[in-house]
Chains A and B, each alone.
Chain A
Amino acid sequence: MRNLVLLFLRFGHFILFVILEIFCLYLIVNYNRKQRDIWANSANIFWGYSSEKWNDWTNYLSLQDNMDELAFENAKLKEKLINYELSPIFEKDSLTKLNNQYELLTARIVSNTTDRPNNYLTLNKGIKDGVQKDMGVISKNGIVGIIRDVRNDYAAVNSLLHRRTFISAMIKRTGAFGELRWIGTNPQIVNLGSIEKHNTVVVGDTIVTSGYSTHFPPGLMIGTIEATELPSGNNFHDIKVRLSNDFGALRQVEIVKNLKQAQQLELEQKVKGE
């Protein structure tokens, strides 16, 4: 208490000064028309600016949620488009009757490699989300790989950059189809085999999925032909395809559920067995 009195004796005039100055500023911005307008205006600008910045920041924090939401929406739209294109013509005018064959499920990549001879990805969706072995995985730029194994919360994917991933692909322009496989060197180039030599192959042609496998719907972008040659005495073109997907930059993917996969496989197995 004594210290407080001393403090006031010493700095009382300054404390009084500060209090009175604040009182003056209060008077100025409340009872002077011009100053009040300027004050109100500046305050508006300041608070407007501050709340805008704050909103920017909170938006940034919820970016991941927004992204997931958008990706989910995107998947639903793509799913509709794929199924719509597949459905027979007479059903097209009634959207409610669409006979859905494919469902898309968004997932985020948890881990990814591109520099090994056999590359894998891990996704944050698993059995609890309905993921099963042998489902295809695609991204907005093209195909990614095939689900190899699933656990409750995660799924392991054989990347397209895996030497035992074979994907049925076709040249969009001619419809000639072959098999896509990676030879394990450049993560941007895959080989397209089994295109017979009577087919014309042009550098720059688009390669899409054929839809003959059960993993992917037809017509999904894979890449473009980078180089082609026909070795003498060989029946097949040796085609190098530049992938449209940059595997190093993948973040968000979609898992393709083919609702008729089991049916198709069973039938194929049966025919083969006979």
Chain B
Amino acid sequence: MNNVITQNILRLFFFVLVQGVVLQQAKLGGTFFNYISLFIYPLFLLLLPLRISKIALVLIGFGLGMLVDGAYNSPGVHTAACLVTAILRPLVLAILEPREGYNVSLGLTVKSYGLPWFLKYAGILLFIHLLVYFVLEIFTPIYIIEIIGRTIASFIFSLFLMIMYMIIARPSV
């Protein structure tokens, strides 16, 4: 149990640091990459233990968003997206529940439930997260094309980044 908490706390700092220091600056040249934003930190919410309470999830989402917003100097934008992700996580988990149910002792990882399941799980929540983020970041309904375009582009690259993390770090909880 202690192990789970330590793991998550370490992961929180790691993700926020990577997001704030590396990915925020990750403008890999040209206007094309200004268009794409790389997101890793939503993965923290996805990997929280299965049995965590809904209220705790919302509060943790709020805290995580505040930390990232601190790094981005954009009060509220990431936080609003994190809150949506946090409130929808139980719903998505219920929809994607395997036939034999979840194993409480396992983490919600690639290792536990396989890559296809994890792609669906992370894909749905990441897409919603990015959509909310870009709606609030661009904040003008007229730029709906830009909102959707940036969401899709960022979605592909961020999902790839998350899978890379899952394959390289191989977290079990």
Q: Is the CB of B136 within 8 A of A17?
A: no
CA distance A165 to B139 in the complex (A): 73
User: Which chain A residues in 2-48 approach chain B with CB under 8 Å?
Assistant: 12-14, 16-17, 20-21, 23-28, 30-32, 34-35, 38-39
Q: Is the CB of A20 within 8 A of B55?
A: no
CA distance A19 to B137 in the complex (A): 20
Chain A residues contacting B55 (CB-CB under 8 Å) are 12-13, 16
Shortest beta-carbon distance from A172 to chain B in Å: 62
CB < 8 Å neighbour of A31 from B59, B62, B76, B136: B76
User: Given A28-B136, A35-B139, A38-B139, A17–B83 Cβ distance below 8 Å?
Assistant: yes
Shortest beta-carbon distance from A24 to chain B in Å: 4
Q: Is the CB of A24 within 8 A of B76?
A: yes
- Most chain A C-beta atoms within 10 Å of own C-beta, residue among B54, B76, B136: B76
Contact indicator per residue, chain B 1-19, by CB within 8 Å of chain A (1) or not (0): 0000000000000000000
Interface residues on A, range: 20 to 34
Q: Is the CB of A32 within 8 A of B83?
A: no
Shortest beta-carbon distance from B22 to chain A in Å: 23
CA distance A26 to B80 in the complex (A): 10
CA distance A270 to B140 in the complex (A): 87
Contact indicator per residue, chain B 81-93, by CB within 8 Å of chain A (1) or not (0): 0011011000000
Q: Is the CB of A21 within 8 A of B136?
A: no
Q: Is the CB of B75 within 8 A of A28?
A: yes
Q: Is the CB of B80 within 8 A of A32?
A: no
- Most chain A C-beta atoms within 10 Å of own C-beta, residue among B75, B84, B86: B75
Does any Cβ of A come within 8 Å of B103's Cβ? no
Q: Which residue of chain B lies nearest to A8 when distances are taken between CB atoms in the complex? A: B55
Q: Is the CB of A26 within 8 A of B76?
A: yes
User: Which chain B residues in 37-92 approach chain A with CB under 8 Å?
Assistant: 53-55, 57-59, 62, 65, 74-77, 79-80, 83-84, 86-87
Chain A residues contacting B84 (CB-CB under 8 Å) are 21
CA distance A31 to B84 in the complex (A): 20
Q: Which residue of chain B lies nearest to A12 when distances are taken between CB atoms in the complex? A: B55
Q: Which residue of chain B lies nearest to A31 when distances are taken between CB atoms in the complex? A: B75
CB < 8 Å neighbour of A28 from B53, B76, B140: B76
Q: Is the CB of B75 within 8 A of A20?
A: no
User: Given A13-B57, A35-B136, A28–B77 Cβ distance below 8 Å?
Assistant: yes
Shortest beta-carbon distance from A19 to chain B in Å: 10
Q: Is the CB of B83 within 8 A of A21?
A: yes
CA distance A105 to B47 in the complex (A): 85
User: Given A13-B54, A28-B76, A20–B139 Cβ distance below 8 Å?
Assistant: no
Shortest beta-carbon distance from A44 to chain B in Å: 14
Q: Is the CB of A24 within 8 A of B59?
A: no
Shortest beta-carbon distance from A20 to chain B in Å: 5
User: Given A16-B59, A35-B139, A28–B80 Cβ distance below 8 Å?
Assistant: yes
**Which of B's residues lie within 8 Å of A, judged by CB?**
53-55, 57-59, 62, 65, 74-77, 79-80, 83-84, 86-87, 136, 139-140
Could you jot down 21 A-B contacts, CB within 8 Å? Answer: A13-B54, A13-B57, A13-B87, A16-B55, A16-B58, A16-B59, A17-B83, A20-B58, A20-B62, A21-B80, A21-B84, A24-B65, A25-B80, A26-B76, A28-B76, A30-B75, A31-B76, A32-B75, A32-B77, A35-B77, A38-B139
**Which of A's residues lie within 8 Å of B, judged by CB?**
12-14, 16-17, 20-21, 23-28, 30-32, 34-35, 38-39
